[in-house]
Structure 1
Amino acid sequence: MAQSSTNISKRLKSLEKHLAEEHPDNPVLAKAVHSFRKLDHVAQNIGLLDRNESYATYVTWWPMIAVLGTFSAGKSTFINSYLGLHLQRTGNQAVDDKFTVICYSSHDEVKTLPGVALDADPRFPFYQISRSIAEISEAGPQRIDAYIQLKTCPSEKIRGKILIDSPGFDADSQRNATLRLTQHIIDLSDLVLVFFDARHPEPGAMKDTLEYLVAGTINRADANKFVYILNQMDVTAKEDNPEEVVSAWQRSLAQAGLFAGKFYRIYNPEAATPIEDPLIRERYENKREEDMAELNTRMQQIEVERSYRIAGMLEQTAETIGNQVIHKLTGMLQNWKKRVILFDSILFSTLLILSGVAFWLTDSWNLLKIFAENIMACETSSLVGLGIIAGVMGYIHFTIRSKVADNMIKKLPAEFGHDHTACKQYTQAFIKSTAAYRPMFLQKPAGWNNSNQNILAQVKSEANDYIQSLNDQFTNPSGHKVEVAAEEQPAAESVTIPEAKAEQA
């Protein structure tokens, strides 16, 4: 455990150093690492995190775009077109069953690296993901290369960003590991592009997929980061009915519970079905160019949004721990205590009644009087007997405590659904708060004290300071001339770490 704690500390120091070197004009990112350390201290005391874990590894330190969607939705074709390279295999059937993390490299050729290159680096979105895979994969952590891979390419479009291409989504047949990784990606991404195949607009045709990719996003605080894309719209040109296709998909989304959101209508001109009518072709091309321009703008904006996202996560995490997590753990502890006391009362009352009946039937009440007198006289055998009785009662009590806690923990996965991380954290914290060495009369969860409350308050204050600092860089409410605008900063600044890691691997 000490070695693991040292490893995560070294990695965070390395991350902080690189961020300071690569972004000298934006010290917020390096400072944020220090604030994450404070959050880690509180979370580890409560039991939410292990000593070898950090909230800093729950975010990606580079702007991240996730590309999700159904099979044959044209995700890989879109990525290749966006990058200007033939990077991903394409086809109507599933051609790749791995999550592919794509980042920039100065090398002229494309390189494909194994999943371990991502698992060991906290700057990428799959840091230590092998532990999660090991929990649900019989083959264990060595199977990580079957789920994820890293590709590097020289496209300037990806410089300073991370792009993730997901395997075609089929909710009926996907393994649990793929679902968990999908949720992990969604949580970390700054922008989520959800692709649908315009050739299959029938309502209900993709029911399970829609429920997973769409229904789970409706009540999210960051729901605005989801973009829905109807790809391969060229196939509708023959009937010239794009509005009907969009309406069909809107009905499908409505069935999944989503009544808002815009569809972008695009297609790849190089792979498109020829549109013979020049008027229809012009109208389709204009619409495609308009929507592609909006998509490109959204994809460029995440470079600014990334810093705000990290500062916002600091404040949100501190707020969640101080209010939501502690409130729920306190409620769970109260429920646990009530149930333990109830079962203790029932069991010990039953034992007391049975003992009384036994003494009454055997007319042995005088034995209790003799036993009490021997204890008062410190008679050894009676004291040993009293110790045995106390030990048996203690064993029964702590067995009840453990059984009740285990029963409550078993119900957590159903409560949290796909949020495996939250389920794991609450489980760890609850186990720590109900440990045998903690007296039951303690009202607060383990690790929750004035010192840690003050630390959370400091983190929230620091997060607000970071946001104000970012505002000074990226906004100009006073109207005074800004010497270096955000968009004028050299694009190469945010490149070196993913590139260097890829070259090193």
Structure 2
Amino acid sequence: MADKTVSKHLTNLERQFAATDPVLQKTAKIFQELDEIEFELGLIDNDETTARKTSWWPIISTLGGYSPAKSDFVNRYLGVQLHTARHKFTVLQYTPQANTATLPGTALDADHRLPFYQISRQIDLVTSGEGSKLNSYLELVTVNSGKLKNKLLIDTPVLNPAAENLVSGLLRKYVIGISDLVLVFNDLFEADADLIKDTLAEIVAHQDANKFIFVIDHSEITIDALKSQEIAASWQRRLAELGIHTGQFIVLSQSGDTSLFDQRFNNINNDRSYRILGTLENSIRAIDDTIFPEVEEALTTWKDRCNASTLIVLGFVVMLMLFAEIAVGILELLLDPLIGPAIVAVLIGVLTPLHIIVSRVHAKFLIKHLHKRRKQLNLSEDLAGLFEKSLSFWRILMPITDPVGKNKKNRKKLNALIEQSKDLVQALNDQFSHSQQPEYRSQYDAYSYVDQEESN
């Protein structure tokens, strides 16, 4: 088999992080080793990479109710006056150009470097045909603000009972999952309980990830430090009743002090690194925990159906032989030392290709089933590809239901990759415990290679 070609996306990432972040550079190399295993298993094509499962940008997102608190804060903090669509999920990206540009949602769906890559597939799963209406839900806005350098901000739409549907719920859940930091404005909890039920459940589910800042907006008045602590404590008690027990609380006042936000925003590169390493480990474990079991179940079903079909045909042949015995006495021919083996050989010669043909027919139905399961499980890996690689000639004839590649050799490789990813998490932890941390060029745009590569 031909060796896997290193994805251009991974090559760019390795080159970029070689100068800015050695941990992420090594992470890209582990993704490359994972790609080679998945390519051999038929799970990805030669030009694909598992590194596209998550965005490599540091991501901040906002959640809020129907008041203008969220949009007002974004405009003040970025130092711009944006007029984005309040009913859309808006990705804000830095640009050195003075003019703001708004791009359609399809730009996000088609670009693997940005969040919402291929999100239209997931949208179609919850509401068929709605994926083609992506521009009604998403937009990409470029902003000339130094606060956005090296990071993305996803501004979620206001909670509007008239606009909420399955798609907006899916996108809000997706944003919370991929974000490194989420600003939750207090007016969110003033909305109708049924309206925020799903969002609240996602916050509770992710609260231990240390990604939430609960922003209490009192920007119309001046509040001293003691009063801010009292307000934050009051909200902390209120959210505890909703099941939220962790998270940072920041009270906005007329003073406009954003130092606490700056501290968290400046640390977001590290949050991004932990998220990517988490995605890497989950991707490695998914092969044993999800992919192999799904394909093995399909192979077992396929084998059972094939054997049942062949037994039906064999039963029909036996019935014909019984009728032949009654009519002409074929049993004597079967016992003949020359004619008997010849008849058996003919039967085997007919039944074997028939069994193979029947197997191929049943395989087509299960391939369609695996395509559906891939979408339902939101996997980038091609389950049907591994299934088809497991349909070799001898596997069709022999009682083998294990997917090809499910062996000690690959398990050893996967365990080694998991250990390497854990070592990188430890290396990331060590950056906080050492007295002198490595310096990173924060002013360097981690995705400047996008323009460089596209222009080449």
Query: Which category describes the TM-score, using the shorter chain as reference length?
Result: 0.7 to 0.9
1:74 to partner: Cα distance: 3.6
| 1:215 paired residue number | 201
Structure 2 residue matching 1:29: 3-state secondary structure: helix
1:307 aligns with 2:305: no
Contact 2:216 2:232 in 1 (8 A): no
Contact 2:12 2:449 in 1 (8 A): no
Cα-Cα RMSD: 4.7
> What TM-score, normalized by structure 1, do the two folds share?
0.68
Q: Percent identity?
A: 27
Contact 1:83 1:157 in 2 (8 A): yes
Q: Which runs of 5+ in 2 are unaligned?
A: 224-229
> What TM-score, normalized by structure 2, do the two folds share?
0.74
Which deviations, in whole Å up to 9, do the C-alpha atoms of 1:13-50 show, x marking residues without a partner? 233323335x2xx3333332222111111223334434
Any residues of structure 2 matched to 1:190-269 within 5 Å, and which?
190-197=180-187, 200=190, 205-207=192-194, 209-211=196-198, 213-216=199-202, 218-219=204-205, 223-229=209-215, 231=217, 250-251=240-241, 253=242, 258-262=243-247, 264=249, 266=251, 269=254
Contact 1:97 1:167 in 2 (8 A): yes
CA distance in 2, matches of 1:221, 1:249: 12
Structure 2 residue matching 1:103: 3-state secondary structure: strand
Candidates 12, 15, 18, aligned match of 1:14:
12
1:491 aligns with 2:442: yes
CA distance in 2, matches of 1:217, 1:398: 47
Structure 2 residue matching 1:163: 3-state secondary structure: strand
Amino acid at match of 2:246: G
CA distance in 1, matches of 2:327, 2:218: 90
1:96 to partner: Cα distance: 3.0
1:163 aligns with 2:173: no
CA distance in 2, matches of 1:138, 1:158: 34
Amino acid at match of 1:492: Q
Structure 1 residue matching 2:448: 3-state secondary structure: helix
Candidates 30, 33, 37, aligned match of 2:32:
37
- Change over 3 Å in CA distance of 1:119–1:267 after alignment to 2: same
CA distance in 2, matches of 1:244, 1:18: 45
Once structures 1 and 2 are overlaid, which stretch shifts more, 463-472 or 186-195? Answer: 463-472
Any residues of structure 2 matched to 1:107-122 within 5 Å, and which?
107-115=97-105, 117-119=107-109, 121-122=111-112
Which deviations, in whole Å up to 9, do the C-alpha atoms of 1:254-280 show, x marking residues without a partner? xxxx352347465675xxxxxxxxxxx
Structure 2 residue matching 1:87: 3-state secondary structure: coil
- Change over 3 Å in CA distance of 1:402–1:357 after alignment to 2: same
Candidates 70, 76, 83, aligned match of 1:81:
76
Candidates 119, 124, 131, aligned match of 2:114:
124
1:326 aligns with 2:281: no
Any residues of structure 2 matched to 1:46-85 within 5 Å, and which?
46-72=41-67, 74-85=69-80
Aligned residues: 441
1:69 to partner: Cα distance: 4.1
- Change over 3 Å in CA distance of 1:263–1:473 after alignment to 2: closer
Any residues of structure 2 matched to 1:145-160 within 5 Å, and which?
145-160=135-150
Once structures 1 and 2 are overlaid, which stretch shifts more, 341-350 or 181-190? Answer: 341-350
Candidates 404, 412, 421, aligned match of 2:378:
421
1:82 to partner: Cα distance: 1.9
Which deviations, in whole Å up to 9, do the C-alpha atoms of 1:145-185 show, x marking residues without a partner? 44433222232222222111123356996565545544443
- Change over 3 Å in CA distance of 1:47–1:367 after alignment to 2: same
Structure 1 residue matching 2:139: 3-state secondary structure: strand
Q: Which runs of 5+ in 1 are unaligned?
A: 90-94, 270-284
